[in-house]
Amino acid sequence: MPEPILQVRGVQKRFGPKVVYEDCTLDIYPGETLTIIGGSGTGKSVLLKMLTGLMHADAGEVVAFGTDITRLPEREMQPLRRRVAMLFQSGALFDSLTVEDNVKYPLREHGWGSEADMDARVAEVLEMVGLPGSQALKPSELSGGMRKRVGLARSIAIKPDVVLYDEPTTGLDPINIRRINGLILSLQERLGVTSVVVTHDMDTVFTVSDRIAMLHERRIAFVGTVEETRACPHPWLQSFIAGGRGTLADDEG
Amino acid sequence: MRTRLRDALEAFGSLCVLAGRAVAAAARAPRDWRAVIVQLDLAGIGSWSLAVLALASTGASLAMQFVSGLEPYGASLYTGKLASLGIVRELAPLLTALLVGGRVGSGYAAEIGSMVVNEQVDAIRALGADPVRKLVAPRVVACTVMMPLLVMLADTMGVLGAAVVTTREVGITAKFFVNQVLDTLWASDLLHGLIKSVFFGFVVGITGCWVGLRTTGGTEGVGLSTTRAVAVNAIALLVTNFLLTKFLLVIYA
């Protein structure tokens, strides 16, 4: 197996009195699609934000491309952000900007090239997410599914090596869910993008995953391939797979 | 008690850090002039009527108070001297800053606060940009530039308000009033108020943005930040005003 490109080693994280992670360890390998499942409020988004340096671990370390980013100052994060993009849960589009300016935002920040090059790239990624010609629209004119797709176009515009997806299909209709799943797969197949997908959606999990990691009791309790996951006797994991999500008691716990 | 003191110190520290970073970001080229102009428009053009109304009426009331207070000593002729000094050195800068601060600062807190809870501020960082440079610096620059202009307008309106009352109630001519004001007011008095207003503008911008960036917890948090911004802004302005007045009087002496 090749060297992992992202590593989480013994990470601890708390918010005030609430401990989110006690001893979290996870390796992510180049080219794979890893999904992270776990009940609501178990800090799945926090893990993604630590992977791209938006949040910092209290203890332990997060290593990206061989660099420890745990205590890296913000101004030295630029190269990391060029390689690791994140799709936020709500899309997190900038309301005041058009779709075009939203997608151009990272291109401008990372110095993509001339205005014409950027225009071409914007058209290209909007085509990829199935929204060609939507450049002039404002985010308020888009549906939830379209926002997520524009958000995805914005994330992949700079050709990152890794895309982190925070619940990419939550709240979408089945057609949009299938479309997003297809996009995750085609990014991996066509461009070799590494994906880390946080989701509740078992369809997504079994469609896109190479490996599955389960968050339980403030750590990664299980990591394995799809077959290993199906075969794993862990009762919580089986109830999650069967029910699409954990039981209510688990969710609240 | 000790934790509250620590929280307060931590909060003040983070405000100072943000102020430092905003100054550094504003000083660094290339500046985002388009964003600054948008903010200048919002802060200045939207606020001038407030400043005009507030100072015209306060100038008039102040003059009425002086007329009635000075009459028993036969000194109501000096109303113009006292009122114009009070307006230019103290009332116009402070009142304008408090009113504009309430309006503009809470707007900043609401806008940036919603961006925080919608993950847009995280998105700015994830896309390789700096929220302080993108959001805070243009607003702080706009406020700092606009406040002295608004205060000059407020100065004029305040003195005009006082002139109307004095000429009607004391029966002096407009010419006498104008001569008296010109005799009394030195460039240093105007400067005194304008120096204050530059600092006030900075305080208004930075506190609004600071409160917005510290927003947590959904729409409720945004509401809380909006009201908190008015309070934080007022306290910061009053403290700054006291310290600056003392400092400026020492310098002049």
CA distance A86 to chain B (A): 7
- CA nearest neighbour of A11 among A60, A76, A84: A60
Residue A66: which of A3, A17, A139, A123 has the closest Cα? A3
Chain B residues with beta carbon closer than 8 angstroms to that of A89: 119
Residue listed under structure tokens 């290993």: A228
Please give, rounded to a whole number of angstroms, the shortest distance from the CA of B155 to a CA of chain A: 35
Would an 8 Å CB–CB cutoff place A78 in contact with chain B? yes
pLDDT in tens, B88-103: 999 999 999 999 999 9
By Cβ distance, the residue of B122, B128, B130 closest to A106 is B128
Q: Report CA B189 to chain centroid distance, whole Å.
A: 18
Q: Nearest-CA residue of chain A relative to B21?
A: A75
**With the C-alpha atoms ordered B127, B130, B136, B137, is the resulting torsion angle positive or negative?**
negative
Backbone angle region of A56, left / alpha / beta, with phi > 0 → left and psi within -120 to 50 → alpha: beta
Quote ipTM for the complex: 0.88
Give Cα B77 to chain centroid, integer Å: 32
Contacts of A74 in chain B (CB under 8 A): 125, 130
Chain B: residue whose CA lies nearest to A157: B127
* Chain B residues inside the 8 Å CB shell of A78: 128
Q: Does A221 touch chain B (CB under 8 A)?
A: no
Q: Does A77 reach chain B within 8 Å, measured CB to CB?
A: yes
Can you give the pLDDT at residue A29? 94
pLDDT value of residue A101:
95
Name the CA dihedral angle for A124, A177, A31, A108, rounded to a multiple of 10 degrees.
40
Q: Which of A251, A216, A237, A250 is nearest to A20 (CA)?
A: A216
Estimate to the nearest angstrom the gap between the alpha carbon of B72 and the chain centroid.
36
Residue of A18, A50, A74 best to disrupt the B interface, most CBs of B under 10 A: A74
Going by their DSSP bridges, the two strands A6-15 and A59-64 should be labelled as antiparallel
d(CA B98, CA B96): 5
Contact A37, A196 (CB under 8 A): no
What mean pLDDT is predicted for residues B232-241? 95
Please give the biggest Cα pair distance in chain B.
Answer: 70
Residues 34-73 of A with CB under 8 A from B: 49, 52, 54
More confident residue, A1 or B3: B3
Per-residue pLDDT at B76 exceeds 50: yes
B172-212 pLDDT tens trace: 888 888 888 888 888 888 888 999 999 999 999 999 999 99
- CA of B118: which chain A residue's CA is closest? A92
- Helix B92-100 / helix B218-252 crossing angle, nearest 10 deg: 170
Low-confidence ranges of chain A (pLDDT < 70): 1, 244-253
Q: Coil, helix or strand for A234?
A: coil
**Over the range B160-199, which residues count as b (16 or more CB within 10 Å of their CB) and which as e?**
ebbbbbbbebbebeeeebeebbeebbeeebbebbbbbbbb
Structure confidence at residue A153 (pLDDT):
94
User: Cα(first)–Cα(last) distance of chain A, in Å?
Assistant: 36
* Stretch 109-168 of chain B: residues touching chain A, C-beta under 8 Å: 118-120, 122-123, 125-130
pLDDT for the residue numbered A251: 44
User: Among A151, A153, A77, A166, which Cα is nearest to A121's?
Assistant: A153
pLDDT of residue B171: 82
Neighbours of A141 (CB within 10 A): 12
Token pair of A195 as six digits: 């994906």
Candidates A30, A25, A47; CA nearest to A38 is A47
Mutate which of A52, A54, A147, A198 to disrupt the B interface (most B C-beta within 10 Å)? A54
Cβ atoms of residues B146 and B135 within 8 Å: no
Q: Of how many residues is chain A composed?
A: 253
User: What pLDDT does residue A155 have?
Assistant: 94
pLDDT band at B43 (very low <50, low <70, confident <90, very high): confident
* B129 contacts A52? CB cut-off 8 A: no
